[in-house]
């Protein structure tokens, strides 16, 4: 399998810089007139897969909203991931796992092994047990051509307590995490392309990166940036945060798309609108 960064770069070149979240929480199901049960979960999720195929490069299922239904919800998540593969959509499974040793290895096997029914093209991970704790996932991702997105600057109000704090290297913890992620990318192959290790940086974090002295132009991976649409961020915020590095950013939106449903054509129109808005920042 080709490296994740190469596959992502090709998909973004063809379809733009938007990632659509699949977040089947109860309020979204109700907005579509669906019951908050397995059938509603399946209908909502697979409709989004159908609508986004050929419209955006990546979708991001949020594992928590499937897990809440227990093993049967996980089975639906497996169906969704399989449908994405069939539709040619790259997947970032939003699991935000973070652990140590054999436990981290277990999570990696669940989501990054080629033969796992829960395998995605990339997953989100939390590095706040130490970046080195991610080693089992980083190693398996590299072996299987998968991607990793490491939480760096998140938009939740509590995040600054850890992410903005000074690390033992004298930089902020967030800056240190970003530096270590870039070291992993530099140690990989195919230099000059998008790295397989990316970051999660909220589109609603404002000037936090600038205030912390973070320069995204020296980071070679892609950046998953949630918050476009319902959370209040705009493509202009992407440009403000990332500047000339915006071309490597996946602007992530969930309700900004799903609120246009349940008609497939309406979902596709919403995706095209946000994709066009993102492309405008490269023309200006």
pLDDT above 80 for 81: yes
pLDDT at 201: 98
Give the helix/strand (H/E) hosting 253: strand 249-253
- Is residue 179 a contact partner of residue 214, using CB atoms and an 8 Å limit? no
The pLDDT of 196-217, averaged and rounded, is 96
The pLDDT of 174-199, averaged and rounded, is 89
> For residue 116, what pLDDT band results from cuts at 50, 70 and 90?
very high
Q: How far apart are CA 62 and CA 77, in angstroms?
A: 9
Structure confidence by residue, pLDDT tens digits, 223-238: 999 998 877 889 999 9
pLDDT at 232: 84
pLDDT at 169: 85
The pLDDT of 61-76, averaged and rounded, is 98
- Is residue 69 a contact partner of residue 76, using CB atoms and an 8 Å limit? yes
- DSSP letter string over 60-100? EEBTHHHHTTTHHHHHHHHHHHHHHHHHT-EEEEEEEE---
pLDDT at 189: 60
Structure confidence by residue, pLDDT tens digits, 20-63: 999 999 999 999 999 999 999 999 999 999 999 999 999 999 99
Structure confidence by residue, pLDDT tens digits, 254-264: 999 999 999 99
Q: How far apart are CA 98 and CA 100, in angstroms?
A: 7
Rg of the chain in Å (alpha carbons): 18
The pLDDT of 138-144, averaged and rounded, is 97
Helix axis angle for 264-283 and 235-242, nearest 10°, is 40
pLDDT above 70 for 191: no
> For residue 284, what pLDDT band results from cuts at 50, 70 and 90?
low
pLDDT at 188: 76
Q: How far apart are CA 124 and CA 149, in angstroms?
A: 5
Q: What are phi and psi of 226, to 5 degrees?
A: -75, 155
pLDDT at 167: 92
Catalytic member of 60, 96, 171, 244 = 96
Q: Is 171 a catalytic residue?
A: no
């Amino acid at each position: 399998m080709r490296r994740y960064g190469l596959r992502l770069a090709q998909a973004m070149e063809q379809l733009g810089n938007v990632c659509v979240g699949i977040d089947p929480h109860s309020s979204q199901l109700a907005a579509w007139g669906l019951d908050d049960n397995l059938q509603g979960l399946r209908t909502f999720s697979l409709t989004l897969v159908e609508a986004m195929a050929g419209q955006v490069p990546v979708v991001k299922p949020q594992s928590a909203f499937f897990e809440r239904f227990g093993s049967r919800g996980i089975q639906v998540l497996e169906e969704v991931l399989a449908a994405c593969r069939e539709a040619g959509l790259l997947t970032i499974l939003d699991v935000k796992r973070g652990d140590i040793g054999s436990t981290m290895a277990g999570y990696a096997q669940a989501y990054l092994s080629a033969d796992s029914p829960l395998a995605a093209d990339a997953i989100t991970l939390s590095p706040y047990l130490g970046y080195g704790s991610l080693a089992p996932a980083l190693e398996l991702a590299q072996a299987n051509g998968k991607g990793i997105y490491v939480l760096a600057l998140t938009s939740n109000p509590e995040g600054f307590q850890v992410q903005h704090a000074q690390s033992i290297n004298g930089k902020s913890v967030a800056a240190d995490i970003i530096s270590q992620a870039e070291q992993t990318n530099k140690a990989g192959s195919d230099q000059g392309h998008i790295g397989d290790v990316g970051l999660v940086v909220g589109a609603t974090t404002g000037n936090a990166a600038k205030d912390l002295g973070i320069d995204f132009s020296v980071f070679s991976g892609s950046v998953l940036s949630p918050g476009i649409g319902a959370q209040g961020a705009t493509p202009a915020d992407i440009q403000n945060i990332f500047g000339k590095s915006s071309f490597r950013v996946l602007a992530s939106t969930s309700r900004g798309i799903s609120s246009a449903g349940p008609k497939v054509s309406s979902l596709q129109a919403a995706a095209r609108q946000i994709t066009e808005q993102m492309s405008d920042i490269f023309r200006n």
